Structure 1
């Protein structure tokens, strides 16, 4: 059974987990593929992501397993969702899993965000690999 209000995606990225981890946790790299913000892999760290037309979204790191898992609250007080990234080495690359859950489909805001992010996340994930490739030393 599929959980309501859950977005799950998997993307293979042809870079090792250490590089993909950097894309998720280094503010400079993070800004290249998704949003600017002071993301850091430290449980309890609060940061804000600049989501452009959707404004500044607060986040708080909930769980960290170095190069394996990063989970944080996203927009507490409004959306009240959780984003969890899982990294798994696969050959010379990384299988990156995204789980974005907790959307309240009974609220207009929650339903609209779920629909928008359901369509937006696949495009966002495709930007990770180019961001890593362009930031690689020549």
Structure 2
């Protein structure tokens, strides 16, 4: 049975300052796991960066969002052509669960749950205290998952930046009315 969360693709605050967002993707889980852990595949939807699959391993993520879609759309003011962040793998159970630190927030956990020939990817991003950061992160995860879904389904993705800008407005209304 598909939940409301899966149907509309929008993330929800599942507790104060915690965003949970899901996406049903074509499987198997090992395929989607590779999109989470392999730098070249992750670069196609989120950020590049080598990742050793072991707790305590550093991960240097490099975002180049202008390269995610063609065309990329209009980059919002205040965003550069590249963003970098050093994270750490905090827990791993391949190919089901990956947790990494994430800047000043409480970290991100990716969980994969096979559902027949599809995989439910659940992302839980904890302790996003600043409302502006929450808006950017909510729209960001949603827009990046749209790109991942397009890659996994081999369909065209909407221009990333235009999608992110539209989603940020939608999340502002959904989260803060």
- The interval holding the TM-score normalised by the smaller chain is 0.7 to 0.9
Which ranges in structure 1 are unaligned for 5 or more consecutive residues?
106-110
Write 1 or 2 for the structure with the bigger share of strand: 1
TM-score normalised per structure 1: 0.82
Aligned residue pairs, count: 126
Q: Tell me, yes or no, if structure 1 residue 82 matches structure 2 residue 82.
A: no
Q: Which residue of 1 aligns with 2:36?
A: 24
Which ranges in structure 2 are unaligned for 5 or more consecutive residues?
1-12, 65-79, 155-177
Q: Tell me, yes or no, if structure 1 residue 61 matches structure 2 residue 126.
A: no
Q: Which is further off, 122-131 or 14-23?
A: 122-131
- Select which of 51, 61, 64 maps to 1:49: 61
The CA RMSD over aligned residues, in Å, is 1.8
After superposing on structure 2, the runs of 4+ consecutive aligned residues of structure 1 that deviate more than 2 Å are: 51-55, 129-134
Q: Higher RCO, 1 or 2 (CA under 8 Å, sep at least 6)?
A: 1
